[in-house]
């Protein structure tokens, strides 16, 4: 898995280029926060007033989207669980003051693609290791006990911001499948991310990349675990070249936005090498196919082109277990 490499990833280290992009809303976090607010509002109408709405934020980084959304709903109470693999991001996330209506929060340092890390990683006991092969819900319940009840059993709302574009269709399917067991009965899974334009072929992420002269794995999920889960075959048309024009255009837009916001050349280089090595987004249509195969009904929101330089490559996805999507739960 890419755990070790991603833990050192320069794009997210120290005063990272990503912070500059956040400052100028290059990736439309403000708009994402508005959409999250809308989803949380709809969800809270189906919950008693005193219910604490539990949010799971995978690959949380500095969780601005969720913090903004929760601040928009001062009359509701929230629990917050963030997970991130990069120590610098975890530190910054822990330093970010949570709004007063977040009654309970924790930031876990671990992989967002291995839900066993939702237990306190420092307490990786024998009993946790024994649970690896069990069903996600059962496993999570066992891990919850192992972490002394610190974690919620289910989450009302799961958010993944700007991370799914590192995964393959099969890895995303597995993550979404496992998340179904962690979602409360009418919970919602949401994603704000980079997406490939429709009508251009998929570029499949390679297994490894060269970093500082060394081979680093790009897998988000352990390949053996993925094979055991037997994901469906997704027949997306695949490109023959790894650097087609649309990838160059996406990276040019990121760099132009970053440099015009005051970013420096060194940060631009880090951004370009991060993106070339790790960003292999699906199209929105492909994400819909993957999530439907994992048992969800999907609603997609695209942003107007003029919203930002990167807007043509951004989208917000909401997904509900099929049964609820059919019942019009998206309203
Ligand atoms: C582009 S930032 C997104 C942060 C935030 N979610 C947002 O929407 O702005 C991606 C974050 O994912 C984290 N990350 C990358 N791979 C991860 C993994 N396998 N597990 C957990 N976090 C990961 C990085 O450390 C970084 O903080």
Structure tokens at 56: 């799971």
Least confident of 85-89, 132-136, 176-180, 247-251: 132-136
Question: How far is ligand 1, taken at its centre, from the CA of residue 328, in Å?
Answer: 31
pLDDT at residue 21 in the model? 95
Is residue 281 within 8 Å of 315, Cβ to Cβ? Answer: no
- Structural domain count, the chain: 1
Handedness of CA 160, 217, 286, 186 (dihedral sign): negative
Residues spanned by the domain of 212: 26-238+281-326
**Which residue's CA lies nearest to atom 19 of ligand 1?**
111
Rounded-to-integer distance, Cα 89 and Cα 162, Å:
14
- Indicate the burial class of 186 (C-beta count within 10 angstroms; 0-12, 13-18, 19 or more): middle
Confirm whether 20 is domain-assigned. no
Structure tokens at 312: 């043509």
Question: How far is ligand 1, taken at its centre, from the CA of residue 1, in Å?
Answer: 15
Please tell me if the CB atom of residue 61 comes closer than 6 angstroms to any atom of ligand 1: yes
CA of 161, closest atom in ligand 1: 8
Rounded-to-integer distance, Cα 83 and Cα 279, Å:
20
pLDDT at residue 255 in the model? 98
Confirm whether 19 is domain-assigned. no
Confirm whether 188 is domain-assigned. yes
Q: Which of 231, 111, 115 is nearest to 174 (CA)?
A: 231
pLDDT at residue 247 in the model? 98
User: Given ligand 1 and candidates 19, 57, 85, which is best to mutate, with the most ligand atoms within 8 Å of its CB?
Assistant: 85
pTM of the model as a whole:
0.90
* Tens digit of each residue's pLDDT (9 = 90 or more) over 141-165: 444 433 434 799 899 999 999 999 9
* Tens digit of each residue's pLDDT (9 = 90 or more) over 229-240: 999 999 999 999
Q: Which of 328, 309, 306 is nearest to 318 (CA)?
A: 328
pLDDT at residue 15 in the model? 78
Question: How far is ligand 1, taken at its centre, from the CA of residue 323, in Å?
Answer: 30
Confirm whether 55 is domain-assigned. yes
**DSSP code per residue over 170-232:** HHHHHHHHHHHHHEEEEEEEEEEEE-BPTTS-B-PPPSEEEETTEEEE--SS-HHHHHHH-PP
Please tell me if the CB atom of residue 11 comes closer than 6 angstroms to any atom of ligand 1: no
Confirm whether 305 is domain-assigned. yes
Question: How far is ligand 1, taken at its centre, from the CA of residue 61, in Å?
Answer: 5
DSSP letter, residue 2: -
> What's the whole-number mean pLDDT along residues 90-95?
95
Is residue 155 within 8 Å of 55, Cβ to Cβ? Answer: yes
* Tens digit of each residue's pLDDT (9 = 90 or more) over 187-201: 999 999 999 999 999
> What's the whole-number mean pLDDT along residues 128-132?
36
User: Given ligand 1 and candidates 163, 270, 274, which is best to mutate, with the most ligand atoms within 8 Å of its CB?
Assistant: 163
Confirm whether 230 is domain-assigned. yes
Confirm whether 71 is domain-assigned. yes
Please tell me if the CB atom of residue 271 comes closer than 6 angstroms to any atom of ligand 1: no
Structure tokens at 57: 């934020």
Contacts of 272 (CB under 8 A, 6+ apart): 251, 254, 255
Please tell me if the CB atom of residue 84 comes closer than 6 angstroms to any atom of ligand 1: yes
> What's the whole-number mean pLDDT along residues 154-180?
97
**DSSP code per residue over 252-276:** HHHHHHHHHTT--HHHHHHHHHHHH
Q: Which of 201, 183, 215 is nearest to 243 (CA)?
A: 201
Confirm whether 267 is domain-assigned. no
Q: Is the pLDDT of residue 97 over 80?
A: yes
Three-state SS for 105? Answer: strand
**Which residue's CA lies nearest to atom 12 of ligand 1?**
59
Q: Is the pLDDT of residue 326 over 90?
A: no
* Tens digit of each residue's pLDDT (9 = 90 or more) over 245-292: 999 999 999 999 999 999 999 999 999 999 999 999 999 999 999 999
Give me the CATH number covering residue 97.
3.40.50.150
Question: How far is ligand 1, taken at its centre, from the CA of residue 50, in Å?
Answer: 31
């Amino acid at each position: 898995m890419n755990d070790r490499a991603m833990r050192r990833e320069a794009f997210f280290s120290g005063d990272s280029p990503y912070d500059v992009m956040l400052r100028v809303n290059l990736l439309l976090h403000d708009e994402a926060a508005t959409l999250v607010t809308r989803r949380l509002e709809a969800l809270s109408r189906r919950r008693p007033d005193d219910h604490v709405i539990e949010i799971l934020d995978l690959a949380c980084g500095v969780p601005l989207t969720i913090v903004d959304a929760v601040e928009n709903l001062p009359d509701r109470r929230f629990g917050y669980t963030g997970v991130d693999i990069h120590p610098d991001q975890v530190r910054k996330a822990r330093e970010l003051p949570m709004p007063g209506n977040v009654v309970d929060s924790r930031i876990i340092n671990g992989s967002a693609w291995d839900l066993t890390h939702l237990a306190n990683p420092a307490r990786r006991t024998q009993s946790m290791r024994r649970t690896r092969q069990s069903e996600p819900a059962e496993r999570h319940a066992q891990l919850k006990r192992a972490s002394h009840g610190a974690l919620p059993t289910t989450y009302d709302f799961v958010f993944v911001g700007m991370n799914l574009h590192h995964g393959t269709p099969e890895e995303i399917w597995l993550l979404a499948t496992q998340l179904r067991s962690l979602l409360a009965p009418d919970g919602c899974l949401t994603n704000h991310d980079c997406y490939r334009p429709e009508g251009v072929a998929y570029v499949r992420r390679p297994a490894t990349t060269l970093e500082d002269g060394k081979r680093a794995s790009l897998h988000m999920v352990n390949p053996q675990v993925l094979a055991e889960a037997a994901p469906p075959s997704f027949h997306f048309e695949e490109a023959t070249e790894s650097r087609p024009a649309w990838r160059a255009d996406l990276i040019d837009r990121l760099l132009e936005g970053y440099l015009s916001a005051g970013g420096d050349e060194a940060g631009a280089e880090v951004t370009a090498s991060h993106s070339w090595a790790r960003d292999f987004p699906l199209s929105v249509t492909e994400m819909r196919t993957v999530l439907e195969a994992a048992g969800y009904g999907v609603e997609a929101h695209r942003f107007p082109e003029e919203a930002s330089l990167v807007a043509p490559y951004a989208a917000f996805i909401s997904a509900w277990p099929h049964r609820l999507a059919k019942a019009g739960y998206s309203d």
